[in-house]
Chains A and B, each alone.
Chain A
Amino acid sequence: MSPKGRQPLAPPTWLGTLPFLAILVLWWLLPRVMQYPSYMLPPISAIVDFAWESIRDGSLLKNTAASLARLFIGFAIGMALAVPLGLAIALNRYVADMFRPVLSFLQAIAGIAWVPLTIIWFGIGNGSVIFVIANTIFFASLYNTVIGVQSIPTSLYRAVRSHGGSGFALLTNLILPGALVQLLLGVRTSMAYGWRALVASEMIAGSSGLGYMTMEAVQWQRTDVIILGMIVIGLIWMVMDRTLFTAIERRTVMRWGLLQR
């Protein structure tokens, strides 16, 4: 209410650890004050034990590596298909008009809804999971490529043309870099969809990986496995977000001054 506290000292960052401590204390207290079957929420020690055990026998590392490998293979396939097709669509207004409704429809169902079909086509395992990720990434990136090319200002085309650039030069000097910005802006979102698609499809159609590990544990009521899986899934996403996407944004988008912040 009074103007005195306009800019107080920034609250210390260690405050951020308090909620985690509170959760751990609550978790520790809960079985001591409430009665519930221990499979509902195993003690913290059980999760630490299981984490240690699965690190030592290599199964956690193996599942994590399997998930990440699928994610990046799916991502590479999706991008490799999306960018050329996106360029082709964007460079021709008629083709773009023709494909747009079909593509926005297919984008709306991209991802996890394909899993039942992919199980029929490829069986349980890598094929299904990679198809779903590639499919998710493909439609997100295709859309971004098309938008990216179409958002290049006409004056730039004219500038390149009037300097005698055409054909291949136009493509490499204007269209690709111009579309790249939108594509990179979209990477974070398409990976957010891709990551969910990965975990979800591993849960239904996987035979290894973090999603498979967490869902498989439901049958055996191994809540310790489920919680460890959740923590690892959260940590990996945080690391990817911090290292990959933020770095990409810094390197490219901010360099071109396109990130208003």
Chain B
Amino acid sequence: MTASVTLPRAATQPLVSRRSARVLRGAAGVLLLLVAWQLSVPLVGLSPYFYPAPSDVVASFADLIRKGILPVYFADSMGRYFAGLAAGALLGVVFGVAIGLNRTVAVTLSPLLKFLFAIVEVAWIPIFVVWFGYGLKTILLALIYVVFFPVLYNTLLGVRTAPQILVNALRSLGATRWQVLRYAILPSALPGIITGLRVGAGFAFRGLVFAEIVAAKSGIGYLIFEGTQTQQTARTIVGMIVMGLTWLAIDLCYLRPLERATIQRWGLTVDAEQRT
């Protein structure tokens, strides 16, 4: 699964072969699924509108690429996703630090935050649509909302658990408030921030697809929805496959390395592995 894992020296040889065996078995599983799907089409005997075959999906994929629809939709989705993720994470960190540093603020705001957190972003979409119409604003707000809370709570936890001894040491050496924040509090909050980001990224990805189904005229979610509306079910499945592969790629290329770079460095790996 992981591309850049560093193997212990002594165990290199057998581990590699075991890994390649796993990859082969995994590929066999994927192939088996595709073959079963293709073979089941004549058995089920429904029209491609109800049950398209893999070959229909491949043809539809080629068609979407040739017409230039898929690249544009994909770029639109990713632009929205990462913009929302970045904005939501930034807000979450800023509020998390601000709330974490002051207990009065924390006690004052936490019931409201709990209540807002409980109103899932999905439930905000109707009112966003009334306020901002169908379009980018609604989608971005929903994404920011869904990323904000996990990042906020995990940042808060990180700030609270920053070792007081470090803070005191820095202060007694004459550090400014900013320096205390920069050198003691933020580094110890970092693993929490990353955990929050990872949780938020997962929820935001589904949130993106839903927001695009409801409020977009482009994007992968729109492709998934529009496919069935226009009797091109193969397009819906292309959209679903692109969505799944995109999430796996995001997880593998960004989230896991990020988690490795931060959380594992602090020796929290076992915990992190169990949680995911």
A residues bordering B, Cβ < 8 Å?
1, 8, 10-13, 15-20, 23, 39-40, 94, 97-102, 104-106, 108-109, 111-117, 119-121, 147, 151, 182, 192-193, 195-197, 199-200, 203-204, 211, 214-215, 217-218, 221, 223, 226-227, 229-231, 233-235, 237-238, 241, 260
Contact: A260 with B271, CB < 8 Å?
Answer: yes
Residues of chain B within 8 A (CB-CB) of A16 are: 107-112
**For chain B residues 217-245, which have a beta carbon within 8 Å of chain A?**
221, 224-225, 227-229, 233, 236-237, 239-241, 243-245
Interface size class of chain B, counting residues whose CB lies under 8 Å from the partner chain: 35 or more
Task: Say if the beta carbon of B122 comes within 8 Å of chain A.
Answer: yes
Central interface residue in B126, B210, B274, by most chain A CB within 10 Å: B126
What secondary structure prevails in chain B residues at the interface with A? helix
Contact: B122 with A211, CB < 8 Å?
Answer: yes
Central interface residue in B27, B49, B107, B121, by most chain A CB within 10 Å: B107
A111 to B240, CA, bound (A): 11
Additional pairs, 8, CB under 8 Å, beyond known A105-B30, A109-B244, A260-B271: A108-B243, A109-B247, A182-B274, A200-B122, A203-B125, A218-B130, A227-B127, A230-B127
Q: What is the CB-to-nearest-CB distance from A122 to chain B, in angstroms, rounded to a whole number?
A: 11
Per-residue interface assignment for chain B, residues 40 to 72, with 1 indicating a CB less than 8 Å from any chain A CB and 0 otherwise = 000000000110000000000000000000000
Chain B residue nearest in CB terms to A136: B206
A75 to B133, CA, bound (A): 34
B108's partner among A15, A102, A120, A197 (CB-CB below 8 A) is A15
Q: What is the CB-to-nearest-CB distance from B252 to chain A, in angstroms, rounded to a whole number?
A: 10
Chain A residue nearest in CB terms to B275: A185
What secondary structure prevails in chain A residues at the interface with B? helix
Q: What is the CB-to-nearest-CB distance from A149 to chain B, in angstroms, rounded to a whole number?
A: 13
A113 to B243, CA, bound (A): 9
Contact: A116 with B224, CB < 8 Å?
Answer: yes
Per-residue interface assignment for chain B, residues 192 to 212, with 1 indicating a CB less than 8 Å from any chain A CB and 0 otherwise = 000000000001001101100
Contact: A221 with B130, CB < 8 Å?
Answer: yes
Q: Can you report 9 A-B residue pairs in the complex whose CB atoms are below 8 A from each other?
A: A39-B130, A40-B130, A100-B29, A113-B240, A197-B206, A215-B214, A229-B123, A234-B119, A238-B115
A143 to B236, CA, bound (A): 25
Residues of chain B within 8 A (CB-CB) of A15 are: 104, 107-108
Contact: B103 with A102, CB < 8 Å?
Answer: no
Contact: A101 with B29, CB < 8 Å?
Answer: yes
Provided the pairs A120-B228, A120-B233, A234-B115 are in contact, do residues A214 and B130 lie with their beta carbons within 8 angstroms? no
Residues of chain B within 8 A (CB-CB) of A196 are: 120-122, 203, 206-207, 210
Residues of chain B within 8 A (CB-CB) of A18 are: 108
Q: What is the CB-to-nearest-CB distance from B37 to chain A, in angstroms, rounded to a whole number?
A: 11
B residues bordering A, Cβ < 8 Å?
1, 21-22, 25-30, 32-33, 49-50, 103-104, 107-112, 114-116, 118-127, 129-131, 171, 203, 206-207, 209-210, 213-214, 221, 224-225, 227-229, 233, 236-237, 239-241, 243-245, 247-248, 251, 271, 274
Chain B residue nearest in CB terms to A104: B248
B244's partner among A108, A197, A215 (CB-CB below 8 A) is A108
Chain A residue nearest in CB terms to B231: A120
A236 to B110, CA, bound (A): 18
Residues of chain B within 8 A (CB-CB) of A193 are: 203, 206
Contact: A237 with B127, CB < 8 Å?
Answer: no
A112 to B103, CA, bound (A): 39
Residues of chain A within 8 A (CB-CB) of B228 are: 116-117, 119-120
Q: What is the CB-to-nearest-CB distance from B108 to chain A, in angstroms, rounded to a whole number?
A: 4
Residues of chain A within 8 A (CB-CB) of B112 are: 16, 19-20, 23
